[in-house]
């Protein structure tokens, strides 16, 4: 499966933007980029996904590099509730939906 690389941890102040990078240099043309997050003591939660174009939803924005070898999840105004582990995942179309989660990025938000 195509792999992703994320920083182990990031810190942010409340109400400031958070930019979470993800490298996926071996991505294939049909692989979707998915982001999930896992709050303490909860199951993972879908955040956003995209293929080539930048995407926005109520939770976050996803900026995808032109060569698709990297992407950035943007939380526009971090709140304490955004403290979680954020996973960047590639959905390989040839493998149905066998999502493989890496270690993710642990985001800490300071009040």
Partner 1 sequence: DSGVTQTPKHLITATGQRVTLRCSPRSGDLSVYWYQQSLDQGLQFLIQYYNGEERAKGNILERFSAQQFPDLHSELNLSSLELGDSALYFCASSVDRTGELFFGEGSRLTVL
- Tell me whether residue 32 or residue 74 sits nearer to partner 1 (CB atom): 32
**Minimal distance, residue 48 CB to partner 1, in Å:** 9
Q: Which helix (H) or strand (E) holds 91?
A: strand 84-91
What residues from 51 to 110 belong to the interface with partner 1 (CB under 8 A)? 87, 91, 93, 95-104
One of 27, 31, 36, 107 touching partner 1 (CB under 8 A): 36
**Minimal distance, residue 45 CB to partner 1, in Å:** 7
- Tell me whether residue 53 or residue 98 sits nearer to partner 1 (CB atom): 98
Whole-angstrom distance, CA of residue 36 vs CA of residue 54: 16
- Token output for 65: 């590099």
- Tell me whether residue 13 or residue 94 sits nearer to partner 1 (CB atom): 94
73 near 17, Cβ under 8 Å? no
- Tell me whether residue 53 or residue 111 sits nearer to partner 1 (CB atom): 53
Q: Which helix (H) or strand (E) holds 62?
A: strand 61-64
């Amino acid at each position: 499966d195509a792999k992703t690389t994320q920083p182990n941890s990031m810190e942010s102040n409340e109400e400031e933007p958070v930019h979470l990078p993800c490298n996926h240099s071996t991505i294939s043309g049909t692989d979707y980029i998915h982001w999930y997050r896992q709050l303490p003591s909860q199951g993972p939660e879908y955040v956003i996904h995209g293929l080539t174009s930048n995407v926005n939803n109520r939770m976050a924005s996803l900026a995808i590099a032109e060569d698709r070898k990297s992407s950035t999840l943007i939380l526009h105004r971090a709140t304490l509730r955004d403290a979680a582990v954020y996973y960047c995942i590639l959905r390989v179309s040839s493998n149905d939906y066998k999502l493989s989660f890496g270690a993710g990025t642990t985001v800490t938000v300071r009040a």
